[in-house]
C-alpha cells in the first residue's frame, strides 16, 4: 500500500444504507466478474487455505483421528474474511483502475502490518481457536468416557453423536452469528479507510442490524457455499473463496458508499 494511505488521517464513517436481495445478486455477479478479470490472484490467495486444509486433514487421517478435523472444518469459514484481504485489494484496484501487478498487490497486503488489519486478524484467529476449544470440550462431554470405535459417520449418527451435533450446532450458531455481525464488513473497511479495528467491528455490526434479513441471507449463502466448496477435497474453494471475497468488497461499497466521505 502506498505510504500516503498507510499514514492517512482518520476517516469519517457514513451511516449504513439499506440494501435488498437484489443487491446480493448484483455483488455476486460483480464478484464473479472480478475473479474472471484477475483469476491468478483468486487462485493464489485461496490456494494457501486449500493446501492448509488438505495438510490438516492428512495429519488427522494419519493419526486415525479424522473426527477431530470436524470442528476445524466447521469453523473454517471463520477464517474466510482474513483469507480475502488480498482479494479486497484486487477489487479496489480494479474499481480504481490501478496497477494490478503481483508485486504491487502483495506490497499493499504486506503494508497492512502498519495499520489495523493485524489486530483484526488476531481477533479472528482467537475466535477460531476458541471455537476449536469449545468444540473439543463438547466432544469430550459426549464421548470422553467412551472408546472410539467404528467409522466417523457411525459415531456421529449414534445417539450421543446426534446429541453432540445438536448442542454443538446451537452453541456454534450463536458464536457464528455474533462473529459474523462483527466482521463481515470490518476487513474491507480497514483496508479502505483509516479507522481502528474496534470502530470497524462496531460499524460492521451497525451494517448487519440495519439490514438483518438481507445480511442473514448473505451469511447463509457464504456458509453454504464454503461448506460445499470444502467437500471435494477443498478444491471448490479455489473458485468460491475468491468470488465471495470480491463480492464482499462490493457489498461493503453498497453498505458504506464512497459518497459518505472519508
Give the pLDDT score at 78. 63
Give the pLDDT score at 175. 85
Q: What CA–CA distance (Å, rounded) separates 108 from 91?
A: 13
What is the grid cell recorded at 144? 470422553
Please give the full DSSP string across 208-237, using - where no structure is assigned: HHHSHHHHHHHHHHHHHHHHHHHTTTTTTH
Please give the full DSSP string across 162-202, using - where no structure is assigned: HHHHHHHHHHHHHHHHHHHHHHTTHHHHHHHS---HHHHHH
Give the pLDDT score at 252. 95
Percent of the chain past pLDDT 70, that is, above it, reads 81
Q: What CA–CA distance (Å, rounded) separates 237 from 244?
A: 10
Give the pLDDT score at 260. 44
In the block, residue with C-alpha cell 476487513: 187
Q: What CA–CA distance (Å, rounded) separates 129 from 80?
A: 14
Helix, strand, coil percentages in the chain from 3-state DSSP, rounded to 5: 80, 0, 20
* Domain ranges within the chain, ordered by starting residue: 22-144+151-253
Contacts (Cβ under 8 Å, ≥6 apart) of 34: 87, 90, 91, 94, 246, 249, 250
Number of H helices, E strands in the chain: 14, 0
Give the pLDDT score at 82. 63
Give the pLDDT score at 9. 54
Give the pLDDT score at 39. 93
pTM of the model: 0.79
Residues of the chain falling short of pLDDT 50:
1, 3-4, 7, 260-262
What are the backbone dihedrals phi and psi of residue 148, each rounded to the nearest 5 degrees, phi first? -85, 115
Amino acid at each position: 500500500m502506498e505510504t500516503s494511505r498507510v499514514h492517512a488521517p482518520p476517516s469519517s464513517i457514513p451511516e449504513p444504507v439499506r440494501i435488498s436481495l437484489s443487491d446480493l445478486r448484483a455483488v455476486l455477479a460483480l464478484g464473479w466478474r472480478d475473479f474472471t478479470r484477475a483469476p491468478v490472484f483468486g487462485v493464489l490467495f485461496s490456494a494457501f487455505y486449500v493446501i492448509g486444509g488438505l495438510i490438516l486433514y492428512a495429519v488427522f487421517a494419519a493419526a486415525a483421528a479424522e473426527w477431530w478435523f470436524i470442528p476445524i472444518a466447521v469453523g473454517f469459514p471463520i477464517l474466510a474474511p482474513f483469507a480475502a484481504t488480498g482479494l479486497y485489494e484486487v477489487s479496489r484496484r480494479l474499481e480504481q483502475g490501478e496497477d494490478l501487478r503481483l508485486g504491487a498487490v502483495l506490497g499493499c497486503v504486506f503494508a497492512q502490518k502498519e495499520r489495523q488489519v493485524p489486530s483484526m486478524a488476531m481477533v479472528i484467529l482467537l475466535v477460531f481457536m476458541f471455537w476449536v476449544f469449545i468444540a473439543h470440550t463438547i466432544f469430550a462431554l459426549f464421548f470422553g468416557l467412551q472408546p472410539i470405535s467404528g467409522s466417523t459417520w457411525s459415531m456421529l449418527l449414534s445417539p450421543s453423536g446426534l446429541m453432540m451435533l445438536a448442542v454443538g450446532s446451537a452453541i456454534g450458531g450463536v458464536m457464528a452469528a455474533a462473529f459474523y455481525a462483527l466482521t463481515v464488513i470490518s476487513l474491507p473497511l480497514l483496508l479502505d479507510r483509516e479507522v481502528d479495528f474496534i470502530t470497524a467491528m462496531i460499524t460492521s455490526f451497525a451494517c448487519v442490524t440495519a439490514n438483518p434479513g438481507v445480511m442473514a441471507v448473505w451469511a447463509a449463502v457464504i456458509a453454504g457455499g464454503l461448506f460445499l466448496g470444502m467437500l471435494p477435497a477443498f478444491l471448490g474453494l479455489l473458485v468460491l473463496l475468491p468470488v465471495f471475497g470480491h463480492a464482499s468488497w462490493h457489498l461493503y461499497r453498497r453498505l458504506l458508499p464512497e459518497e459518505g466521505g472519508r
